[in-house]
């Protein structure tokens, strides 16, 4: 899918063109961008989830954006939860000392 020179038209995978803004949006695209993490993290109420999903059904750019963000989150989770990723002992000691120092009462 990619935007063509006509502006709001997008070629779909089957070769058809669709007007990105021909459908009525209850939810605006900017709101999708603003609320994508609440959606992906399961922090929306059911009514908002339904409106969000309805928007994604008809808005290919937002659908692609949400899919990208979901893949990015999953990739980051898989990399950060990897048991092979160990924090070096020296770094861990520095972190612990910094925490201890930050918890000390201020000097008068």
* Structural domains counted in the chain: 1
Give pLDDT tens digits for 15-52.
666 555 545 557 899 999 999 999 999 999 999 999 99
Query: 72: closest CA among 49, 43, 33, 40?
Result: 40
**Residue 23 forms part of a structural domain:** no
**Residue 68 forms part of a structural domain:** yes
Give pLDDT tens digits for 69-99.
999 988 888 776 655 567 788 888 888 888 8
Instruction: Identify the domain containing residue 49 by its residue range.
Output: 28-103
**Residue 4 forms part of a structural domain:** no
**Residue 11 forms part of a structural domain:** no
- What CATH number is attached to the domain comprising 56? 1.10.10
DSSP assignment string, 59-105? -HHHHHHHHHHHHHHHHHHHHHT-TT----HHHHHHHHHHHHHHHSP
> What DSSP character marks residue 106?
P
Calculate the dihedral angle through the C-alpha atoms of 82, 86, 91, 80, rounding to the nearest 10 degrees. Answer: 0
**Residue 20 forms part of a structural domain:** no
Cα(87)–Cα(68) distance, rounded to whole angstroms?
29
**Residue 76 forms part of a structural domain:** yes
């Amino acid at each position: 899918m990619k935007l063509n020179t006509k502006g709001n038209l997008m070629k779909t995978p089957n070769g058809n063109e669709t007007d990105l803004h021909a459908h009525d949006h209850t939810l605006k695209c900017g709101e999708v961008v603003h609320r994508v993490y609440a959606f992906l993290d399961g922090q929306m109420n059911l009514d908002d989830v339904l409106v969000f999903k309805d928007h994604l059904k008809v808005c290919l750019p937002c659908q692609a954006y949400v899919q990208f963000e979901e893949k990015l989150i999953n990739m980051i989770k898989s990399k950060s939860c990897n048991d092979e990723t160990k924090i070096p002992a020296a770094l861990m000691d520095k972190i612990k000392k910094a925490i201890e120092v930050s918890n000390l009462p201020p000097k008068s």
